Chains A and B, each alone.
Chain A
Amino acid sequence: MEIRSPSGHIYVIGNELGHTEKFRFYQCTAESSPACILKIARQAIWNGLLDREAFILQLLAEGALELESEYEKVKENDKKLNYHFFFPKIIETFIAKEQENSRISIMSFAHLADNLSELTPLSHLISRENVYVDPRTSAWIMGKLLTLINFIQGEKILINDLSGDNIFINRREHYVTIFDWTGAALNIGGVSKYLIADRIAQIAKGTIRLLGGNPTTKKLPESPQLIGNNYEAYLAELSAGKISSAKEAHQRFYDLVLSAWPREFYQFTTIKKED
């Protein structure tokens, strides 16, 4: 099945990947990008959410590019910020008259994966693969999520869905990305400290869960990688909503991680769940 946008681009639509109350998602191939998603509003009344999502993704893309350019001028190594990995690239958004005037957005994940199957929602690790991750694996996921919050805070954007269903990873490349931005909000004057602390707490609780720990007691399972309880204590502090600066949370997190484990690529590692 194909669909032609008003601008004349043709998209080949594949299998339905999922749906929510408001949208359906299909695998899709664009001329310029093979790993795409076609997202369509199930009713025209939800068009506005896709309209804003497209705008936010464009803002994020511009913001990421600008920051990369600024960083390029001052950096003393070959590192990159790579903030563009945190979100899909919007290819096009349009109203499809033949689809009862529902809005369609075409988004590319090609910068994150050669194939969409390489991207996994965090929730699937526990619910479908029956695994947890080890502490060192959790560290790069948590660290990147803190980087993400710090980045979008600077863009005055608040992300509302930080559930495991909306956080995707490419386990081979260590990419972390947010799949759906329709729930994101633009806040003038910046995002309040309270909301930042809340979002940091959400991802810390998610990380504790991903480790097989208990988000209520904030206890982590024992691991030879955990020497002392610094990691557990810091995740507990973050999950209690005690830190309202993404920059501070991010800095302290990396200081802790770098003091605990060597700075080297660490392969994605899971631990089988015990029944």
Chain B
Amino acid sequence: MGTKPGSHEVFEKAHREITTGGKSATHVGEQRHKEGKGLHDLIDPKGNGVIRVAKSWLEPKDDGTFYLLRGTAMLEETRLDTTGSMGNNVDIAMRVLPKTFKLLAEGPKAILGRYDTQMITAIFGDVTDNYILCRSQAETDERIAEQMSYMVPERDGGDSTEDPQYGLFGAAYLTFSTAKQLGLKTYDFTVTDADARDFVTLKNLIRVFGPEVMEKVESNGHNFNRGLPSTKEIVSDLLKTTHAFVLSVNGSKANYWQDIFGPERVIEISDLNLLPEMKAVIIGLTEGVLELGTVEDYLTKEAGLSQASAARIKRAVAGIPIGAQTRLENFDKIPLRGDIFAQKDDLWPSKKAGDIEEESDSIWK
């Protein structure tokens, strides 16, 4: 994670370069797989320390203190089904990444403007596949696209039921975020047209996350004294730390997911090219940045959608828990861009940016 954030131009350039000559967005990762090299360490769930970390970036100052460079880190994880007809979802996600980033993180109208938006991309398959899960690091710059290119979508999936529950497991128990430490929740999306098996096995957890998976889970503050959790229990735990949603492609298996996530968290998506707008509106409504009365205006003006598409999205998302983030105790108290921290590991600032006028030039330049 560097000091230079991404931008839609950066992601457009990355997409152009990765897909030059009509190549698939994931040809790099697929080539690695063909050569028997396995998953790249950055997107292998067992790689790079297993636990995914979305921490706020504290930049050192000359006086030995630190300042919050881009706001509190806000994680957005998207888990894409890449089985069967969902096989080109990474291609779509990479193509729409510039718009996703623009809507969420760029400019004065950015939905997550007060935060440092960090993204994890994951893809899931079936336990019969070579890879049940690929999961990137939490990134804020061109590495989001780079790590997407390492993914290996197998476009298979065995039976009609798939295995996103391992990805949900990772999100629930193998993720660390500053936002969670501060008492906020991060964002989690599962995009699928299938249902899931209702359990995880230790064998597959080890296969996905490595032999130390249980130690990692424990070191991240969780334990399974009463045995491995069911898919429903995993989601129940996930919802303690994230605003999690299922984007059900054409409403397929929506009833299954409504039972697992709750009906208010399952949203029908008919066109995955609308993923950026869907995510922006869901997050915007949850953060209190948008309200239902302004959604259509936002989508037509900021995202360039037609009135009809905007109305459909509004209808699709109207059932979510609107304003859920605003109801969390520390919503209005979190550290903001420019706040000063005495120590690198401090959670709360020693000075707010607004209290330090004489230093503000150095902070903002």
Which A residues have a C-beta under 8 Å from some C-beta of B? 44-49, 51-52, 54-56, 59, 93, 95, 158, 185-189, 191-192
Point out which of B268, B292, B321 has the most chain A C-beta atoms below 10 A from its C-beta.
B292
How far is it, in angstroms, between the C-alpha of A188 and the C-alpha of B252 when the chains are bound?
Answer: 10
Give the residues from 308 to 327 in chain B that come closer than 8 angstroms, CB to CB, to chain A: 314-316, 318-319, 321-324, 326-327
How far is it, in angstroms, between the C-alpha of A93 and the C-alpha of B291 when the chains are bound?
Answer: 11
How far is it, in angstroms, between the C-alpha of A217 and the C-alpha of B203 when the chains are bound?
Answer: 50
The answer to the question of B293 belonging to the interface, with a C-beta cut-off of 8 Å to chain A, is yes
Contact of A44 with B326 in the complex, beta carbons under 8 Å: yes
Contact of B327 among A45, A56, A93, A191 (CB under 8 A): A45
Contact of A51 with B258 in the complex, beta carbons under 8 Å: no
The answer to the question of B229 belonging to the interface, with a C-beta cut-off of 8 Å to chain A, is no
The secondary structure that dominates the A interface is helix
How far is it, in angstroms, between the C-alpha of A187 and the C-alpha of B288 when the chains are bound?
Answer: 21
Please, which residues of chain A bring their CB within 8 A of the CB of B323?
45-49, 51
Please, which residues of chain A bring their CB within 8 A of the CB of B316?
188
Please, which residues of chain B bring their CB within 8 A of the CB of A49?
322-323
Chain B interface residue count, CB cutoff 8 Å, equals 27
Contact of B292 among A44, A52, A187, A192 (CB under 8 A): A52
1/0 per position for B247-263, CB-CB distance to A under 8 A? Answer: 01001001100110001
Point out which of A45, A93, A158, A192 has the most chain B C-beta atoms below 10 A from its C-beta.
A45
Name the residue on B nearest A94 (C-beta): B293
Q: How far is the CB of B195 from chain A (nearest CB, A)?
A: 13
The answer to the question of B336 belonging to the interface, with a C-beta cut-off of 8 Å to chain A, is no
Point out which of A45, A47, A48 has the most chain B C-beta atoms below 10 A from its C-beta.
A48
Name the residue on B nearest A95 (C-beta): B291
Contact of B292 with A186 in the complex, beta carbons under 8 Å: no
Contact of B322 with A192 in the complex, beta carbons under 8 Å: no
Which B residues have a C-beta under 8 Å from some C-beta of A? 248, 251, 254-255, 258-259, 263-264, 266-268, 285, 288, 291-293, 314-316, 318-319, 321-324, 326-327
Name the residue on A nearest B253 (C-beta): A189
Besides A45-B327, A187-B263, 18 other A-B contacts (C-beta < 8 A): A44-B326, A45-B326, A48-B291, A48-B322, A48-B324, A49-B322, A51-B293, A51-B322, A52-B318, A52-B322, A54-B292, A55-B314, A158-B263, A187-B319, A188-B268, A188-B316, A188-B319, A192-B259
Contact of B321 with A48 in the complex, beta carbons under 8 Å: yes
Point out which of A45, A51, A93 has the most chain B C-beta atoms below 10 A from its C-beta.
A51
Q: A45-B327, A48-B285, A48-B288 are in contact. Are A188 and B266 (CB under 8 A)?
A: yes
Q: A185-B264, A188-B316 are in contact. Are A51 and B292 (CB under 8 A)?
A: yes
7 closest cross-chain pairs (CB), A and B: A48-B322, A48-B323, A186-B319, A189-B254, A188-B268, A45-B327, A187-B263
Contact of A185 with B263 in the complex, beta carbons under 8 Å: yes
How far is it, in angstroms, between the C-alpha of A45 and the C-alpha of B321 when the chains are bound?
Answer: 11
Name the residue on B nearest A192 (C-beta): B255
How far is it, in angstroms, between the C-alpha of A187 and the C-alpha of B246 when the chains are bound?
Answer: 13
Please, which residues of chain B bring their CB within 8 A of the CB of A192?
255, 258-259, 263
How far is it, in angstroms, between the C-alpha of A46 and the C-alpha of B258 when the chains are bound?
Answer: 23
Contact of A52 among B248, B268, B319 (CB under 8 A): B319
Please, which residues of chain A bring their CB within 8 A of the CB of B248?
188-189
Name the residue on B nearest A48 (C-beta): B322
How far is it, in angstroms, between the C-alpha of A187 and the C-alpha of B268 when the chains are bound?
Answer: 10
Q: A45-B327, A48-B321, A49-B322 are in contact. Are A189 and B255 (CB under 8 A)?
A: yes
Point out which of B248, B263, B268, B326 has the most chain A C-beta atoms below 10 A from its C-beta.
B263
Please, which residues of chain A bring their CB within 8 A of the CB of B321?
48
Contact of B322 with A189 in the complex, beta carbons under 8 Å: no
